[in-house]
Structure 1
Amino acid sequence: YYTEGAELVDNILEIVRKETENCDSLQGFQVAHSLGGGTGSGLGSLLISKIREEFPDRMMCTFSVVPSPKVSDTVVEPYNATLTVHHLVENADETFCIDNEALYDICFRTLKLNNPSYGDLNHLVSQVMSGVTTSLRFPGQLNADLRKLAVNLIPFPRLHFFMVGFAPLTAKDSKQYQSLTVPELTAQMFDAKNMMAASDPRHGRYLTVAAFFRGRLSMKEVEQQMVDIHKKNSNYFVEWIPHNIKTSVCNIPPSGLKMSATFIGNNT
Structure 2
Amino acid sequence: VVEPYNSVLSTHSLLEHTDVAVMLDNEAIYDICRRSLDIERPTYTNLNRLIAQVISSLTASLRFDGALNVDVTEFQTNLVPYPRIHFMLSSYAPVISAEKAYHEQLSVAEITNSAFEPASMMAKCDPRHGKYMAACLMYRGDVVPKDVNAAVATIKTKRTIQFVDWCPTGFKCGINYQPPTVVPGGDLARVQRAVCMISNTSAIAEVFSRIDHKFDLMYAKRAFVHWYVGEGMEEGEFSEAREDLAALEKDYEEVSAETAEGEGEEEELGEEY
Q: Normalising by structure 2, what TM-score?
A: 0.67
The residue identity in structure 2 corresponding to 1:98 is L
**Runs of 5+ unmatched residues, structure 2:** 182-189, 203-273
2:145 matches 1:145:
no
2:35 matches 1:109:
yes
Q: Structure 1 residues 139, 230: closer, same or farther in 2, change over 3 A?
A: same
Show the counterpart of 1:231. Answer: 157
1:225 and 1:146 map into 2 onto residues whose CA distance is 23
1:135 and 1:179 map into 2 onto residues whose CA distance is 23
Q: 1:264 aligns with which of 181, 198, 205?
A: 198
The Cα of 1:78 is off from its aligned counterpart by: 2.2
2:143 matches 1:209:
no
Q: Structure 1 residues 176, 137: closer, same or farther in 2, change over 3 A?
A: farther
Q: Following superposition of structure 1 onto structure 2, how do residues 108-257 of structure 1 map, counting pairs within 5 Å?
A: 108-171=34-97, 176-177=101-102, 178-233=104-159, 236-255=162-181, 256-257=190-191
On the 8 A contact 2:128/2:161 being kept in 1, the answer is no
2:129 and 2:17 map into 1 onto residues whose CA distance is 28
Q: Structure 1 residues 116, 79: closer, same or farther in 2, change over 3 A?
A: closer
3-state SS, counterpart of residue 67 of structure 2? strand
Show the counterpart of 2:8. Answer: 82
- By relative contact order (CA 8 Å, sep 6+), the higher-ranking structure is 2
3-state SS, counterpart of residue 133 of structure 1? helix
Matched length: 193
Q: Quick one: percent identity of the two aligned structures?
A: 40
**Runs of 5+ unmatched residues, structure 1:** 1-73
On the 8 A contact 1:213/1:259 being kept in 2, the answer is yes
3-state SS, counterpart of residue 165 of structure 1? strand
The Cα of 1:174 is off from its aligned counterpart by: 5.5
1:207-232 deviation line (CA, Å, top 9, x unaligned): 11110001121202202211221122
1:172-213 deviation line (CA, Å, top 9, x unaligned): x66833111111111111111111101111111111111000
On the 8 A contact 2:140/2:194 being kept in 1, the answer is yes
The Cα of 1:235 is off from its aligned counterpart by: 5.7
- Specify which structure has the higher proportion of strand: 1
3-state SS, counterpart of residue 88 of structure 1? helix
2:58 and 2:161 map into 1 onto residues whose CA distance is 27
CA RMSD in angstroms comes to 1.6
The runs of at least 4 consecutive aligned structure 1 residues that moved more than 6 Å come to none
The residue identity in structure 2 corresponding to 1:253 is P
Show the counterpart of 1:69. Answer: none
The Cα of 1:99 is off from its aligned counterpart by: 0.7
Q: Rg: which structure is higher? A: 2
3-state SS, counterpart of residue 168 of structure 2? coil
3-state SS, counterpart of residue 41 of structure 2? coil
The Cα of 1:234 is off from its aligned counterpart by: 7.2
On the 8 A contact 1:230/1:237 being kept in 2, the answer is no
Range with greater deviation from structure 2 (208-217 or 174-183): 174-183
2:5 and 2:44 map into 1 onto residues whose CA distance is 24
2:160 and 2:52 map into 1 onto residues whose CA distance is 31
Show the counterpart of 1:46. Answer: none
The Cα of 1:81 is off from its aligned counterpart by: 1.8
1:139 and 1:175 map into 2 onto residues whose CA distance is 30
